[in-house]
Amino acid sequence: MKISENRVGVLLLAGGQGTRLGVQYPKGMYNVGLPSGKTLYQIQAERILKIQELSDRKHGSKCTVPWYIMTSEFTLAPTEKFFKENNYFGLESSNIVMFEQRMVPALDSDQKIIMQDKGKLAMAPDGNGGLYQALVDNEVLEDMKKRGVEYLHVYCVDNILVKMADPVFIGFCVSKGADCGAKVVEKAYPAEPVGVVCRVRGVAQVVEYNEIREITAERRGPGGELMFSAGNICNHFFTRAFLQEVAEKYKDQLKQHIALKKVPCVDMCGNHVTPTRPNGIKLEKFVFDVFPFSRSFVVFEVLREDEFSPLKNADGAATDSPTTARNALLAQHSRWATAAGATLLDEHGNLLPPTASVSAGDNQAARCEISPLVSYFGEGLEKLLRGRTLPSPFILDEKMAKELQAQ
Ligand SMILES: CC(=O)N[C@H]1[C@@H](OP(=O)(O)OP(=O)(O)OC[C@H]2O[C@@H](n3ccc(=O)[nH]c3=O)[C@H](O)[C@@H]2O)O[C@H](CO)[C@@H](O)[C@@H]1O
């Protein structure tokens, strides 16, 4: 209902540098090797298009979910260029608002500034909590007000399974009267690099993975489950009213977190140095550090296999790589196809038992990819797929959907 009334927007945090993934361009432009070759940005854009269409169809009206994209000095120009070259992936360019976060100088261990070049300071984005200053600098809250946006789904760029403007999550937060909310998955293992949503001395907040003590992360309850298991997936809900309050009263109170990073620099003689070990400190603010200011904070737990597979590392890493992201999406789409009544074949034409397509870790999973333009979260597939046997790879895009419907 809120979506159909143009009251929901999405905001992408895309100012990070993707250093762990090791690419020089914005992470959203990354292609994880899906049969369709789609990038993360394209998948996200198509999910917005679909949610608008589903809402329009249900309510018989035309709605818009504006897409706010926070970039940084590193990511703004290439992101703008990429969107333009791709014709905004079918979205109205006027409904995509890109803005830039601030940069701060990197420091060495004596807290002195680092020179990146003669006459140029080494700078880094001020963390995803730089969002709140950036909202003010770029008058983004005014834009939201003008459009009538009251609820915002904020998310990070690298989760291939992200449900843009998720009506279930937004609906849950709104129905609870929340001003602020976080989507979580059950943490997989104590050292997993996800923050945990918890209460510290009664106050709801996130303790980040590099700031939690090992002994605390390992604590278990009576049934052997992790005591701090609400893994933050960087999917947040905010009301515009709450963001306005943060902008006016709290944004300067956000704490600074310290990240040790390798910062390319020049030495005393002006020679360029590419450090092999962390030589610099970056000060970052975190997006979730506003949770303690919330008056009504809610947590919403979802299934990892349906909603969380982040792209953090280059291939070769055991977790959170292009391969694991690709497999997670293909496994999910195979589950949807099977649930809709299709039978899947593997790449050699052998029948896959329905369970073989369930796990993302299963290399034999059928390569079944369903375009977000056909289905947002598995809905509407029965009429297309019931009773069919699907080869691998199988791409169910809009053209294929039309063909199947006509048969
Ligand atoms: C501070 C924060 O949110 N940490 C969360 C983040 O960790 P993680 O350390 O993985 O966070 P990333 O460095 O990937 O940044 C998260 C998002 O913030 C954006 N970004 C980052 C820095 C910046 O200056 N500007 C900016 O926009 C990135 O582009 C990305 O979309 O995701 C994990 C889930 O995947 C969560 O468990 C962590 O709790």
Q: What is the mean pLDDT of residues 296-324?
A: 97
pTM of the predicted model, to two decimals?
0.96
Task: Tell the residue nearest (CA) to atom 12 of ligand 1.
Answer: 16
- Residue 321: exposed, middle, or buried by beta-carbon count in 10 A (0-12, 13-18, 19+)? buried
CB-CB neighbours of 389 under 10 Å: 12
Residue range 113-127: average pLDDT? Answer: 92
The backbone torsions φ and ψ at residue 399, rounded to the nearest 5 degrees and listed phi first, read -65, -45
Helices (H) and strands (E) in the chain, counts: 11, 21
Ligand 1 center from residue 193 Cα (angstroms): 11
Structure confidence by residue, pLDDT tens digits, 333-342: 999 999 999 9
The ligand 1 site (C-beta within 6 Å) comprises 13-16, 70, 72, 101, 125-128, 130, 156-158, 194-195, 206, 208, 232-234, 286-288, 310, 312
Where are the strands (E) in 348-397, listed by range? 368-370, 389-390, 394-396
For ligand 1, atom 1, which residue shows the shortest CA distance? 286
- Residue 257 CA to ligand 1 center (angstroms) comes to 13
Please write the tens of the pLDDT for every residue from 204-257.
999 999 999 999 999 999 999 999 999 999 999 999 999 999 999 999 999 999
Q: Is pLDDT above 60 for 359? A: no
Nearest to 203 by CA among 280, 293, 92: 293
Predicted confidence (pLDDT) at residue 140 exceeds the cutoff of 80? yes
How far apart are the CA of 160 and the centre of ligand 1, in A?
A: 14
Amino acid sitting at position 360: A
CA nearest ligand 1 atom 13, residue: 16
Which of left, alpha, beta for 189 (phi over 0: left; psi -120 to 50: alpha)? beta
Q: Cα(107)–Cα(115) distance, rounded to whole angstroms?
A: 9
Angstrom distances, CA of residue 329 to CA of 91, 297, 326: 23, 30, 5
Closest Cα to residue 375, out of 45, 8, 51? 51
Residue 241 CA to ligand 1 centre (angstroms): 24
Mean pLDDT of the chain: 94
Ligand 1 site-directed mutation target among 194, 234, 256, 260, most atoms within 8 Å of CB: 234
Range 27-43 average pLDDT: 97
Taking CA atoms only, the protein residue closest to ligand 1 atom 28 is 16
Shortest-distance atom of ligand 1 to CA 210: 9
**Is the ipTM beyond the 0.85 threshold?**
yes
- Domains, the chain, ranges and CATH? 2-306 (3.90.550.10), 340-406 (2.10.10.100)
Candidates 20, 156, 309: which one to mutate for ligand 1, based on the most atoms within 8 Å of Cβ? 156
